[in-house]
Amino acid sequence: MKQIETMLNSTDKNSLSQLEDLLGEQHIGTSYDTPLRIDAFDISDAQKIEAISGHFREIMNILGLDLTDDSLNGTPGRVAKMYVKEIFAGLNPANKPKIALFENKYQYNEMLIEKNITLYSNCEHHFVPIIGKAHIGYISSGKVIGLSKLNRIVQYYSQRPQVQERLTIQIANELKSVLETDDVAVMIDAAHLCVSSRGIKDTSSTTITADYSGTFNDPDRKKEFLTYLSYG
Ligand SMILES: Nc1nc2c(ncn2[C@@H]2O[C@H](COP(=O)(O)OP(=O)(O)OP(=O)(O)O)[C@@H](O)[C@H]2O)c(=O)[nH]1
Ligand SMILES: [Zn+2]
């Protein structure tokens, strides 16, 4: 594996545009992009799983666990596979959802809201779950997105080590890009297990983040969005 030290927040424009191409995301290197190394895609998923499995086995060994126990023996491989193929699958641009849009033939020009989208992510500071709901609103600029694709976009960016602020902005930016409009609102309400299950151990607090663009900056539009969220 190439040992390239260049980080995404570097000023190496060639590396950054290479990563933009690979990730299919623009503005790589900004504060709201996941800090990935330029060599992130030099090894295959299978190689990642093998390497993570070995390292996780070592962590379990250091903790004093008996890896010959038949319940523990498969855990390193299980964790590695879960990281690469499931909970951190959104680090691999190959897993980015393919979005096909429809023409807005029905001339639906009001706000569309998809609320209570199930969100499972993981906190990048502690690698423990973030569990919540995402709510999305947009106004068509001529194109309509399949509803499930909204869930898929939320899931893709959630399947990365995250902070909630960045997750919110990444989802909003992707929506603005695919929908070719700035008229997008995203809200996330989530519980962080690093706050509830350890540390301060507050089991009742949740964190709300929001990103409003275009017409959603208008107080009446924002109010309309928030009113829809309060129904049901
Ligand atoms: N802003 C933000 N902070 C987060 C998020 N997820 C976790 N954190 C916080 O990241 C901080 C990391 O702080 P540290 O002091 O380095 O970690 P720590 O010693 O484990 O802190 P405690 O959780 O207070 O025990 C904690 O305050 C977490 O609550 C997030 O999505 N957004
Ligand atoms: Zn945390």
177-220 per-position pLDDT tens digit: 999 999 999 999 999 999 999 999 999 999 999 999 999 999 99
Residue 123, ligand 1, Cβ within 6 A: yes
Measured distance CA(43)–CA(41) in Å, rounded: 5
Residue 146, ligand 1, Cβ within 6 A: no
Please tell me the total number of residues recorded for the chain in this structure.
232
Residue 195, ligand 1, Cβ within 6 A: yes
Among the listed residues 162, 164, 170, 174, the single catalytic one is 164
Tell me: pLDDT of 18 over 90: no
Distance of CA 180 from the midpoint of ligand 2 (Å): 33
Over the chain, what is the mean pLDDT?
91
Residue from 121, 133, 134, 125 nearest 90 by CA: 121
Torsion of CA 194, 195, 201, 204, to 10 degrees: -130
Confidence of residue 25 (pLDDT cuts 50, 70, 90): low
- The confidence score (pLDDT) of residue 32 equals 80
Q: How many CB atoms lie within 10 A of CB 203?
A: 10
Domain with CATH 3.30.1130.10 in the chain: 101-230
The secondary structure element, H or E, covering residue 189 is: strand 184-192
- The confidence score (pLDDT) of residue 2 equals 35
- The confidence score (pLDDT) of residue 83 equals 98
Interface ipTM: 0.96
Question: Which 3-state string (H, E, C) describes 192-210?
Answer: EHHHHCCCCCCCCCCEEEE
Whether 126 sits among the annotated catalytic residues: the reply is yes
The two structure tokens encoding residue 183: 């008229």
- The confidence score (pLDDT) of residue 41 equals 86
The secondary structure element, H or E, covering residue 68 is: none
Among the listed residues 20, 50, 114, 124, the single catalytic one is 124
Share of the chain above pLDDT 90, in %: 82
For the stretch 111-150, pLDDT in tens is 999 999 999 999 999 999 999 999 999 999 999 999 999 9
Tell me: pLDDT of 163 over 80: yes
Measured distance CA(102)–CA(144) in Å, rounded: 5
- The confidence score (pLDDT) of residue 31 equals 66
Residue 128, ligand 1, Cβ within 6 A: no
Whether 55 sits among the annotated catalytic residues: the reply is no
Where does 13-95 sit in CATH, by number?
1.10.286.10
Distance of CA 54 from the midpoint of ligand 2 (Å): 24
Beta bridge partners of 112: 138
Residue 123 annotated as binding? yes
Task: State which CATH number among 3.30.1360.40, 3.40.630.30, 3.10.20.30, 3.30.1130.10 fits the domain covering 101-230.
Answer: 3.30.1130.10
Distance of CA 197 from the midpoint of ligand 1 (Å): 13
Shortest-distance Cα residue to atom 30 of ligand 1 = 163
Residues sharing a CB contact under 8 Å with residue 98, sequence separation 6 or more, in sequence order: none
Domain with CATH 1.10.286.10 in the chain: 13-95
- The confidence score (pLDDT) of residue 38 equals 85
